[in-house]
Structure 1
Amino acid sequence: MKKIIIDADPGIDDSIAIMLAAGLSHFDILGITIVSGNVCVDKGAVNALRLSKFLKKDFNIYKSNPNPLVKELINAEDTHGEDGLGETYLPYEDREVKDGAVDFIIENLKKDEVTIFALGPLTNIARAMEKDIDAFKCARIISMGGNFKSFGNMSPVSEFNYYVDPEAADYVIQNSPNPIEIIPLDVTRKFVLTPNIIALMKSINKDVADFLENITNFYMDFHLKYENIIGSVINDPLVIMAHEFPEYFAKEKYHADVVCDGKARGMLMVDEKDFLKKEKNIILYRDIKTFPVWKNFIEILTAGEVDEEMLERIL
C-alpha cells in the first residue's frame, strides 16, 4: 500500500482529486489535512466530510491554522462558491474534525515513506518543515501550483495557490530535502472537463457523474464568463494522475524561486536557462498526453471501461 497524505483546500477540483485518490485501492490515505485557500479551513473540513459521506470513506480529517504564513487570507469563493462546492450545500455527517494538521503530517512522515499530494497553498507543509525539517528526508511532495510560461489566474504571472501564500511556497521550494514536484497551469489548462465528458461518464456510472456535474456547474459558469471556455479546468486531479501515470507527463529539473511581494507576488520564477547556476530544487511538469490521462481518469472515477473511440471523438 502506498501511504498518502492529501493536503487540500476543498474546493471543487480538490474534491475531484480526493475522489480519484479514493478510487485507487493501492492507496492508504492516512489523512486529509485542510489548509485555507479556495475556502477557509472550516468550510474545507466540511467539504471533506461531504466527500466522506458520498464516497462512504471514513477519512481522518485534520484542520490547521487558518492563516497564511504572512499575508492575509484571500479565498476563491467567487470561483468555487460560498460553500466551496459550487453552492450545492451537500449533506454531511457532522463529526469531529481534529486540529493539529501540522503535527499529523510530521508524525506520519517519521513513521514511513509518505507521498504528500499538495493541492492548495503550501502553508501546512511550510509550517511542518519549519517545525521538523528532518521529517521530510524521505517525503515526496507533488504540488499543484504556479505557472511557467502560461498566464496566471490571479495576475498576469501568478497562480492562485502560490499567490495566496507565496512565503510558504518559497520556503518549501528552498528547504525541501528532495526537489518538490510542481504541476503548473501550463499543464492543467490542457485538461478541461467538458459537458461531453460528463455525458460519457454518465453512460458508465451515473451516480458519480451526477455528483461531478452537480459540483462543477458553478465552476463551468465561471470559466465561461472569465476564460471563455465551455468546460472547467480541473487542476488538482493531475497531481494524482501524474503520480500514477508518469509516462504521460513530460518534466524537467530547474532552480526556482517564488516572488513574495510586489506586482509579481506569487510568481514561480523558473531559471530555465540556468542563469543563476544554483542547485535545481524543483521538478517542473511541462506537458501532458491528454487522451490516455482522460481515459484513466474516467475509468478510475467511474470504476468502468471507457469507449476509446467515443472519447477520442469528444476530446
Structure 2
Amino acid sequence: MPTPAPRPVILDGDPGHDDAVNILLACSSPELEVLGVTTTYGNVGLERTTYNARVVRELIGASFPIYPGADRPLVVPRLSAEAVHGESGLDGPDLPTPTREAESLHAAQFIINSVRARPNKITLLPTGPLTNLALAFRLAPDIVPRVREVVWMGGSLDTGNWTPSAEFNALCDPHAARIVFESGVKLTMFGLNATHQAIANPARVAAFRQLGTRVGEFTAVLLEFFAEHHRERYGWDGGALHDPMTAAYLSAPELFGVQPMWVDIDTTEGPSAGRTVCDVWKVTGQPPNADVALTVDADGFFALLTERLGRYP
C-alpha cells in the first residue's frame, strides 16, 4: 500500500518545556507536515514564548515559519507560569541563539489564510490558551467547517492544576475556550486526567540522554528541570509530558483511548472558573462536542517519543 501523505498541521502554543518537546516530536514524525508554529502568551509572556519557539527551530535546523499571536486573554487578566517553567520558559538546558526572526503576520491571520488555502486538510494543535484559535474563528467564521480537526492539550475530566477546578490552559482564557468548544469544529481534548498518566521518570529521561545526540541531551536536561515542580507539587519522580500527546495522537492514535462527550467551559468568576465540565454519563442530553482522552499507553508513548527524537542527528 502507498504511504499516506503527511497530515498538514499548525502548532499553536506557549513554549514551555512540554511545548518544546511537542515541536521536536511533530517535526520528526513522517505522518505530519508542520506548516508553521503560532505562539501565544501562557507559560511566559508572548515575547519569550516566541523566542523559545525560535530556539527550538534553531536547535533542529528546521525551516517552519513562526507567527506571534495574542499577548493576553480576551477578557480575564493574564496568568503566567514561571514557577513551573522558569523565568525563560525553557529553564534548564543551554539554549542556542536563534538567528532567524519570527514573521510579522499575526498568528490568527496565518491560521485563517492557511485553512482557506487548504480547506478540510489542516489540523490545529493548540497546547496553550485557545486565544489565537478563538480570534481566528471569530474573525473568519467561514474557516470553522474547513478545519480538519483541533487537538488541544488543555482542560481536565476531573481536577485542575492551577486551581482545584481548572487546568492552566483553560483557566488562562476560558472565554476563548468556550468559543472554540461551541464552534462546532471537530475537537479532541487531552486533559490532565490523560496527561498525568505519562510521567517522564528518571528511566525515561535517561533514554533520551542515551541517544547520544544534541537533541537527546537537550530533552533530558529540559525534563530534569521540568520534574522539579512536579516533585514539589505532586510527589512524583518526574514531570507529566502534557503537550506532546497532541502530535503523538495524530502519529499513533492506537496509543490513546478517547470518548465523545459534551464539554462545557465555566466562564464564571467563582471557584470553578475555567473548569472544563465533561458530561461523561450524558446526563445533560447535549450532543458530544469533543472527543475526550481517557487512557494513555504511557510506555508506548515514551517509546514513540524516544524513537522519533532519535531521528535527529
- Alignment partner of 1:257 is 2:264: yes
The equivalent of 1:35 in structure 2 is: 40
Matching residue within 184, 205, 211 for 2:212: 205
User: Bigger CA drift: 188-197 or 273-282?
Assistant: 273-282
The equivalent of 2:3 in structure 1 is: none
For 2:252, the aligned partner's letter is F
Matching residue within 106, 115, 128 for 1:109: 115
The equivalent of 1:313 in structure 2 is: none
Matching residue within 7, 15, 22 for 2:12: 7
For 1:264, the aligned partner's letter is S
- Offset at residue 89 of structure 1 (A): 5.9
- CA separation in 2, counterparts of 1:145 and 1:9? 12
Matches within 5 A, 1:50-199: 50-86=55-91, 88=93, 90-99=95-104, 100-112=106-118, 113-139=121-147, 140-149=149-158, 151-175=159-183, 177-199=184-206
Matching residue within 250, 253, 262 for 1:246: 253
C-alpha contact 2:261 2:289 (8 A) present in aligned 1: yes
For 2:251, the aligned partner's letter is E
User: Bigger CA drift: 218-227 or 71-80?
Assistant: 218-227
1:251-305 CA distance string (max 9 Å, x none):
111111110121101100011222221221111111112222221121111129x
For 1:142, the aligned partner's letter is V
For 1:226, the aligned partner's letter is R
The equivalent of 1:307 in structure 2 is: none
Using a 3 Å threshold, how does the CA distance of structure 1 residues 214 and 87 change in structure 2: closer, same or farther? closer
- Offset at residue 88 of structure 1 (A): 4.3
The equivalent of 1:285 in structure 2 is: 293
Secondary structure, aligned partner of 2:182: helix
For 2:220, the aligned partner's letter is E
C-alpha contact 2:154 2:169 (8 A) present in aligned 1: yes
TM-score, normalised on structure 1? Answer: 0.92
Share of identical aligned residues, percent? Answer: 27
The equivalent of 1:235 in structure 2 is: 242
- Alignment partner of 1:274 is 2:282: yes
- CA separation in 1, counterparts of 2:277 and 2:161? 16
C-alpha contact 1:253 1:280 (8 A) present in aligned 2: yes
1:95-126 CA distance string (max 9 Å, x none):
33224110000000111110111111100000
The equivalent of 1:226 in structure 2 is: 233
- CA separation in 2, counterparts of 1:282 and 1:162? 15
1:14-42 CA distance string (max 9 Å, x none):
00000000111342211100011111111
For 1:279, the aligned partner's letter is P
Secondary structure, aligned partner of 2:303: helix
Provide the aligned length of Structure 1 versus Structure 2.
302
1:153-188 CA distance string (max 9 Å, x none):
11112100001101111110011x333110110110
C-alpha contact 1:173 1:179 (8 A) present in aligned 2: no
- CA separation in 1, counterparts of 2:195 and 2:182? 24
- Alignment partner of 1:301 is 2:309: yes
Which consecutive residues of structure 2, in runs of 5 or more, have no partner in the other structure? 1-5
The equivalent of 1:309 in structure 2 is: none
C-alpha contact 1:173 1:281 (8 A) present in aligned 2: yes
User: Bigger CA drift: 177-186 or 213-222?
Assistant: 213-222
- CA separation in 2, counterparts of 1:81 and 1:203? 25
- CA separation in 2, counterparts of 1:301 and 1:88? 16
C-alpha contact 1:86 1:217 (8 A) present in aligned 2: no
Which consecutive residues of structure 1, in runs of 5 or more, have no partner in the other structure? 305-315
Secondary structure, aligned partner of 1:142: strand
- CA separation in 1, counterparts of 2:70 and 2:8? 24
